[in-house]
């Protein structure tokens, strides 16, 4: 792993699609996953709030885009918008390809 400048804050947040994977990545990096409050209203709207300051930090958001695809993508976009509005220094998306895992496994086994 590349050395990370000690004067930068590295924050890792998880979307709701795969929090366990994000926790494992955070553990591997020796950091904790950032706290996010998600609230879904009766009309389907989503409210996202980051429970810590992201101002000037290098932020990574991990969210897969599996089922329900539309909900997961919209959640990711809302999180990115909230980070931009909160003045995060650099915003990065990590999108694991979990929707294709079953198909890739079948192709490797020779079943099509």
Q: pLDDT digits over 72-101, tens only?
A: 999 999 999 999 999 999 999 999 876 565
Q: Mind listing the pLDDT tens digit for each residue in 26-52?
A: 999 999 999 999 999 999 899 999 999
CA distance linking residue 83 with residue 31, whole number of Å: 19
> For residue range 61-72, what is the model confidence (pLDDT) as tens digits?
999 888 888 999
- Is residue 37 a contact partner of residue 15, using CB atoms and an 8 Å limit? no
Show the tokens assigned to 31.
Answer: 């950091």
How far, in Å, are 21, 26, 62, 64, 112 from residue 18 at the CA level?
6, 13, 8, 7, 27
What are the beta bridge partners of residue 25? none
Tell me the whole-structure pTM to 2 decimals.
Answer: 0.80
């Amino acid at each position: 792993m590349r050395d990370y400048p000690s004067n930068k804050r590295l924050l890792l947040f998880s979307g709701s699609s795969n929090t366990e994977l994000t926790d494992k990545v955070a553990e591997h990096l020796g950091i904790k996953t950032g706290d996010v409050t998600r609230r879904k209203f009766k009309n389907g709207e989503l409210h996202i709030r980051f429970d810590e300051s992201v101002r000037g930090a290098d932020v990574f958001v991990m969210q897969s885009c599996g089922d329900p695809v539309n909900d997961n993508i919209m959640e990711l976009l809302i999180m990115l918008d909230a980070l931009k509005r909160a003045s995060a220094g650099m915003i990065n998306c990590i999108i694991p390809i979990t929707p294709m895992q079953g198909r890739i496994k079948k192709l490797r086994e020779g079943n099509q």
